[in-house]
Amino acid sequence: MYTPIQPLFSLFRRLIVASGFISLLILLSGCSLDTRMSTFVTKGPVAETQYNLFMITIWVTFFIFLAVGGTYLYVVLKFRERPGDDRPLPTQSHGNPLVELGLIGVSILLLVIIAVPTVQGIWYTHDTPNTEAAKLGNWYNGTALSEGEEDDVLTIRVIGYQWWWEFEYPQLGVTTANEMVIPAGKPIHIELRSVDVIHSFWLPRIAGKVDLIPGRANSMWIQAGDDFDQWNAKLEKQNIDLAEMDLQQDYQDYLEDEIHNYYYGQCAEYCGDSHARMLFRAHVVGDDEFSDWIDSQKQGHNAPDGKSWEDWYAAYDADPDLLTGDINEGLKLFIGRGQCSGCHAIDGNPRTIAGVAGPSLTNVGERHSIAAGWLNHRNEDGSIDDDLQYANFVKWIKETDEVKPGNLMWWTRLGNGLGQMKEPLNDDEIHKLSVFLQTLK
Ligand code: HEC
Ligand SMILES: [Cu+2]
């Protein structure tokens, strides 16, 4: 006997096969969760808390999916009409207090299961922990710490610009751009500001995103890797015989092997033309390396040829033509015809601006990328590929507008952007500027 239901069933069957296939594809495409911007392989307590909450939610919703979908499938298959079937329609009923109250009860229970860790997670990720070990005075061993800030945790002020990032370390008096250097295993307080539009700070492996909103001070905290107590607590849970171990040494090994690394971040809120090219990096290092980096950053740069800045500028003011060689020529272009120093600070050099029209170029030769992470010159082993770095500087100065469409080094209201130059920089000048920039380390 033909019923109009039958074609529906064969459609249904085909749909099941197709969706099974698609699910398999999705599963396979997700095989590698361990990518550099994965939120599944977390490196630190904030990201871990967020990951755990995500998994709890996934399991609860998966359970609901199975329960509802399973019941549905069971009923549809079991009570479907078969050929030659002449069972009468079952008695129709409506309303069953027991079932309805039961379902309400189960729904509330499931929501509570999600709500409790959510609220706990919100509390935990809101306030930067100020543990004894995290206090600046207890681990920072360089010379830059301001007085009276020994008991504070490290603060980094992150300022969003279209389409790059500024990182200020107010307690240590250092400013850098696009690549932040942070110590492993320490909570770090992050202040988020924006000078133009809304951006969003996102370092997937270390912490979820928080927006930078103009006229508003947002904050969050991040931490790369566990601190000693967190690490220790995890070992205890695994019932490892701690007496056998040199705990301090093993903790240091854990930081070095698993946490010290180069992490990839990204602006996660659409902010205009080059939003997709507004990346950043976090270089996670040990206490000593961090302290050395701060000191070198603070010291800034010397003049070329081992001169003091006083001598170099005296020579420059007397007769710039006597300062020869690519590096001198590059610096002359930087403060002269190129107008670079009108937008870029290089700490140490007294005639670069202290303003912030563009990223600080102090130690730009040490960064593993330029143009806010868009042009990379980092080797697998963490060193810098010098040839590539040179090529990237050339490319950036020469084709600024093509590398990052709309960027403010090219198009600027100040009228001194590279796109407004009457006579554009020629290849020889770009070569000299690039050689000079490479010496900034
Ligand atoms: C009108 C201001 C302005 C001028 C003039 C200017 N820049 Fe820039 N510069 C910027 C801005 C803004 C950025 C960030 C662009 C971006 O990533 O969106 C930048 C980025 C850079 C970067 C990449 C830094 C990093 O770490 O990502 C380098 C290198 C650089 N400029 C070099 C130069 C040189 C060399 C000159 C002179 C020939 C110059 N700039 C002139 C504003 C300026
Ligand atoms: Cu953006």
Is the Cβ atom of 357 under 6 angstroms away from ligand 1?
yes
The answer to whether residue 413 scores a pLDDT higher than 90 is: no
Task: Please write the tens of the pLDDT for every residue from 322-377.
Answer: 999 999 999 999 999 998 998 999 998 988 876 678 999 999 999 999 999 999 99
| Nearest ligand (C-alpha, residue 372) | 1
Q: What's the average model confidence in pLDDT over 97-119?
A: 95
Q: What's the average model confidence in pLDDT over 121-140?
A: 93
Rounded to an integer, what distance in angstroms lies between the CA atom of residue 368 and that of residue 378? 5
pLDDT of residue 241: 73
Rounded to an integer, what distance in angstroms lies between the CA atom of residue 195 and that of residue 201? 14
CA 87, distance to chain mean position in Å, is 63
Q: Decide if domain 300-438 falls under CATH 1.10.760.
A: yes
Report the candidate in 197, 139, 202, 194 with the shortest Cα–Cα distance to residue 171: 139
**Other C-beta atoms within 10 Å of 329: how many?**
21
Report the candidate in 411, 400, 408 with the shortest Cα–Cα distance to residue 433: 400
pLDDT of residue 4: 60
Domains of the chain, residue spans: 1-31, 134-293, 300-438
CA 266, distance to chain mean position in Å, is 5
| Nearest ligand (C-alpha, residue 161) | 1
CB 361 within 8 A of CB 241: no
pLDDT band at 93 (very low <50, low <70, confident <90, very high): confident
Rounded to an integer, what distance in angstroms lies between the CA atom of residue 6 and that of residue 81? 9
The answer to whether residue 1 scores a pLDDT higher than 60 is: no
Report the candidate in 235, 234, 241, 206 with the shortest Cα–Cα distance to residue 220: 206
Task: Give just the sign of the alpha carbon dihedral 287, 176, 371, 437.
Answer: negative
Q: Which residue has the higher pLDDT, 35 or 252?
A: 252
Task: Tell me the two tokens of residue 294.
Answer: 């701060």
pLDDT band at 58 (very low <50, low <70, confident <90, very high): very high
Task: Please write the tens of the pLDDT for every residue from 285-300.
Answer: 999 999 999 999 998 8
The answer to whether residue 151 scores a pLDDT higher than 60 is: yes
Partnered with residue 370 across adjacent β-strands are 375
Task: Please write the tens of the pLDDT for every residue from 172-217.
Answer: 999 999 999 999 999 999 999 999 999 999 999 999 999 999 999 9
- Helix/strand/coil for 430: helix
pTM beyond 0.75: yes
- Return phi, psi of residue 38, to 5°: -80, 140
Is the Cβ atom of 375 under 6 angstroms away from ligand 1?
no
What is the percentage of the chain residues whose pLDDT exceeds 90? 73
- 3-class DSSP string for 329-397: HHHHHHHCCCCHHHCCCCCCCCCCCCCCCCCCCCCHHHCCEECCCCEECECCCCCECHHHHHHHHHHHH
Could you tell me which residues come within 8 angstroms of residue 405 by beta carbon, excluding any fewer than 6 positions away? 273, 274
Task: Give just the sign of the alpha carbon dihedral 168, 174, 180, 183.
Answer: negative
Q: Would you give the DSSP letter of residue 284?
A: E
Please tell me the CATH code under which domain 134-293 is placed: 2.60.40.420
pLDDT of residue 223: 97
- Return phi, psi of residue 248, to 5°: -60, -45
Cis peptide bond prior to 231, omega within 30° of 0: no
CB 337 within 8 A of CB 325: no
pLDDT of residue 5: 67
Report the separation in Å between the CA atom of 193 and the middle of ligand 2, taken as the mean of its atom positions.
13
Report the separation in Å between the CA atom of 209 and the middle of ligand 2, taken as the mean of its atom positions.
12
The answer to whether residue 8 scores a pLDDT higher than 90 is: no
Is the Cβ atom of 164 under 6 angstroms away from ligand 1?
yes
Helices (H) and strands (E) in the chain, counts: 12, 12
Task: Tell me the two tokens of residue 330.
Answer: 């590059």
Q: What's the average model confidence in pLDDT over 11-39?
A: 82
Rg (C-alpha) for the chain, rounded Å, is: 29
CA 72, distance to chain mean position in Å, is 43
Provide the greatest CA pair distance for the chain. 109
Q: Which residue has the higher pLDDT, 7 or 210?
A: 210
pLDDT of residue 92: 86
Instruction: Determine the atom of ligand 1 nearest the C-alpha atom of 373.
Output: 27
The answer to whether residue 30 scores a pLDDT higher than 70 is: no
CB 179 within 8 A of CB 368: yes
- Return phi, psi of residue 287, to 5°: -55, -45
pLDDT band at 33 (very low <50, low <70, confident <90, very high): confident
- The residue whose CB lies within 8 Å of the most ligand 1 atoms, and thus the one to mutate among 409, 416, 418, 436, is 409
Is the Cβ atom of 342 under 6 angstroms away from ligand 1?
yes
Q: Which residue has the higher pLDDT, 106 or 82?
A: 106
Instruction: Determine the atom of ligand 1 nearest the C-alpha atom of 404.
Output: 18
pLDDT of residue 355: 64
Rounded to an integer, what distance in angstroms lies between the CA atom of residue 148 and that of residue 153? 12
Which stretch of 24-38, 330-344, 386-400, 424-438 has the lowest confidence by average pLDDT? 24-38
- Helix/strand/coil for 277: helix
Q: What's the average model confidence in pLDDT over 90-99?
A: 87
The answer to whether residue 85 scores a pLDDT higher than 90 is: no
Q: What's the average model confidence in pLDDT over 401-414?
A: 89
What is the percentage of the chain residues whose pLDDT exceeds 70? 97
Rounded to an integer, what distance in angstroms lies between the CA atom of residue 313 and that of residue 301? 14
Which stretch of 84-88, 100-104, 425-429 has the lowest confidence by average pLDDT? 84-88
Report the candidate in 202, 206, 169, 203 with the shortest Cα–Cα distance to residue 187: 206
The answer to whether residue 321 scores a pLDDT higher than 90 is: yes
Task: Please write the tens of the pLDDT for every residue from 221-251.
Answer: 999 999 999 999 998 888 877 677 788 899 9
The pLDDT mean for the chain works out to: 91
Is the Cβ atom of 370 under 6 angstroms away from ligand 1?
yes
pLDDT of residue 31: 66
